[in-house]
Amino acid sequence: MDFGHALATCLDQVGPGRVATCGAIARALGDVRAARAVATWLVDHPDLPGAHRVVRADGRPVLHGATQLLEGERIRAVHGRVPTERIVGALRPTKFLAALRDDQNHLSAQVTERDSLGDINRIGGVDAAYDGDSMYVAAVCLDADDLTPVEIVTVRYETTFPYIPTYLAYRESPGIETTVHRLTHQPDVLLVDGHGRLHPALFGVACYVGVRLSLPTIGVAKHPLVGRVQTKRRGSEPALPIEFRGRVQGYAWIPPGRARPIFVSVGNRISLNRSLEIVRSSTRHGYPEALQLADRVCREMKRNEKREKGAAR
């Protein structure tokens, strides 16, 4: 079952004359963090049966024009808000996201944090940009010595999973895998824009990609997700360790030219110290070069397609 089908299962429980909040649907899906994704998905897929019966926490319908449809079901909004007595308190769980969390916990055991790297000749990076369900992915390879590009591959991919915090792998990994497979030569190590071990299940998107592709991967993220940053460095360590589940799972490091830290963690088949070493050595200003280039390329790909669509109208 994909996200759309799981959401439809929830909406089937909300009959005429009743509405459900995004939060109630998210809890039925298995994680309240999916509430925003529920609203976004319905806006992008307004024809989903029952979509007009979904409201925000304050009772405002998610869909524009839903008020008229609700009036046809004898639900009159007051100042644009549905009365609380019309709101369903809870829905039967689908366990959709709970099953994905179980999947993450299971696959987490397949991650190895031992170095499998010898000399590094090619450093890869992968990132994605979005326009609705369209995912624009760029995978790049740089020469490890001078950080010059040696290969760039792009793919446009239609995703069927929304952005939900801590479930990014299920949105991005299919497109990432397709793009990386198209590289002529696999990189010796791949930097992924997202978390690795710094994740509630110790299995972020960088781990997922690393296990699926059997590649050494490193997670590099701009915002923290889990863990406690130690305020004092240990000895001569160049970054602040981040503890989670009783051990150091990552580092917060402020690169040159950046005011805030980036967050580095193991993806797969590499040690944490080696991960930090590679990120530092491949960063000139602000963010690792491979990820900066991948970001520019996928955003330009998105802009070009939007311009072409506009010109064709």
Specify the number of domains making up the chain.
2
Look up residue 287 and give its DSSP letter: E
Q: Is 157 inside a domain boundary?
A: yes
pLDDT in tens, 30-68: 999 999 999 999 999 999 999 999 999 999 999 999 999
Do 45 and 154 fall into the same domain?
no
Handedness of CA 151, 152, 157, 163 (dihedral sign): positive
The CATH number given to whatever domain includes residue 47 is: 1.10.10.10
- DSSP annotation of 52 reads G
pLDDT tens digits along 141-175: 999 999 999 999 999 999 999 999 999 999 999 99
Find tokens 């824009």 and name the residue. Answer: 193
The answer, yes or no, to whether residue 234 has pLDDT greater than 70, is: no
**Are the beta carbons of 251 and 242 closer than 8 angstroms?**
yes
Which residues neighbour 79 within 8 Å (Cβ) at sequence distance 6 or greater?
A: none
| Domain region containing 239 | 107-307
- The tens digit of pLDDT for each residue in 10-34 reads 999 999 999 999 999 999 999 999 9
**Do residues 220 and 279 touch, judged by C-beta distance below 8 A?**
yes
Its pTM stands at 0.93
- 124: how many CB neighbours lie within 10 A of its CB? 26
257 falls within a domain: yes
Residue pair 190/126 in contact (Cβ under 8 Å)? The answer is yes
Same domain, 117 and 82: no
Q: Which positions ≥6 away from 313 have C-beta within 8 Å?
A: none
